[in-house]
Amino acid sequence: MNANLKIAPSILSADFARLGENVAEAEAAGADLIHIDVMDGHFVPNITVGPLVVEAVRSITELPLAVHLMISNADQYLDAFAHAGASSLTVHVEACTHIHRTLQRIRELGLRAGATLNPGTPIAALSEIIADVDLVLVMSVNPGFGNQTFIERSITRIEQVRAMLNQENPQADLAVDGGINANTAGRVVKAGANMLIAGHAIFKGKHSVSTEVLALRQAAQSI
Ligand code: DX5
Ligand code: ZN
């Protein structure tokens, strides 16, 4: 059993007309943080939410808010997301020309800094910043949409990032995002992930949000 296991429901698949209720239900079921996907229609082919929604969610939960920025010009919006109440900001290495500076700025704002990689980006892209992050997020689908199929190659990538973190930054979280459900959760945890981000499986599952949160935690601990 991994005491450091964190379940992060992604509100991308929530019912936005009942967002407060969905978040409250996830919190009551023992979710560890709330994952908020920000998409700009430029870095990824979809548009979602901005600081306004982060602020709204901030007002209705005690949980940390993990904001995943899938946007081209992250530097321009870091302050706005910090002021809106984000607890961590995770940026894509593919989208940041000066990734080291961006991570530094996130920490200056008092937030946890995360770096994430698309499935097609070599893990080596992390090598020079691995000691400067609080979180590495391995994308296990191509970002932009919920309810996509887990890319199997992600297991090897998680193992590689875990080895890197063990060497240089063992305190950091290793998150995995995309296609996480009761079938994939155990294997990604075994590969070294400790934070499971899940949208469809939690908010669009067969059962209630709380049942799905519990089922995912159980599945994660089952291997
Ligand atoms: C995809 C987002 C994910 C998304 C995952 O670009 O970053 O956070 O919500 O969705 P599921 O869990 O449905 O694959
Ligand atoms: Zn995400």
Q: Phi/psi at 77 (nearest 5 deg)?
A: -120, 0
3-state secondary structure of 183: coil
State the average pLDDT for the chain. Answer: 97
Atom of ligand 1 nearest to the CA of 142: 6
Give the structural domain span for 198.
6-220
Cα of 92 from ligand 1 centre, angstroms: 15
Evaluate whether residue 110 is within a structural domain.
Answer: yes
Give CA–CA dist 19/58, Å, rounded. Answer: 12
Q: What's the pLDDT tens digit per position in 57-92?
A: 999 999 999 999 999 999 999 999 999 999 999 999
Q: Look up residue 94 and give its two tokens.
A: 């593919």
Q: What's the pLDDT tens digit per position in 113-159?
A: 999 999 999 999 999 999 999 999 999 999 999 999 999 999 999 99
Cα of 37 from ligand 2 centre, angstroms: 5
Mean pLDDT of 24-30: 97
pLDDT of residue 1: 55
Predicted TM-score (pTM) of the model is: 0.98
Evaluate whether residue 70 is within a structural domain.
Answer: yes
Task: Please state, for a pLDDT cut of 90, what percent of the chain lies above it.
Answer: 98
Evaluate whether residue 123 is within a structural domain.
Answer: yes
What is the CATH classification number for the domain harbouring 98?
A: 3.20.20.70
- Print the SS3 string covering 120-181: CCCHHHHCCCHHHCCEEEEECCCCCCCCCCCCCCHHHHHHHHHHHHHHHCCCCEEEEECCCC
Evaluate whether residue 1 is within a structural domain.
Answer: no
Task: Please state, for a pLDDT cut of 70, what percent of the chain lies above it.
Answer: 100
Give CA–CA dist 101/43, Å, rounded. Answer: 19
Evaluate whether residue 161 is within a structural domain.
Answer: yes
Q: Given pLDDT bands bounded at 50, 70 and 90, which one contains residue 2?
A: confident
Mean pLDDT of 96-115: 98
Atom of ligand 1 nearest to the CA of 144: 6
Which amino acids are annotated catalytic?
37, 177
Question: How many domains does the chain divide into?
Answer: 1
Pairing outcome for strands 195-198 and 88-92: unpaired
CB-based contact 140:180 (threshold 8 Å):
yes
How many other C-beta atoms can be found within 10 angstroms of the C-beta atom of residue 72? 15
Evaluate whether residue 141 is within a structural domain.
Answer: yes
Evaluate whether residue 31 is within a structural domain.
Answer: yes
Evaluate whether residue 93 is within a structural domain.
Answer: yes
CB-based contact 117:93 (threshold 8 Å):
yes
Protein residues near ligand 2, an ion, with CB under 5 A: 37, 68, 177
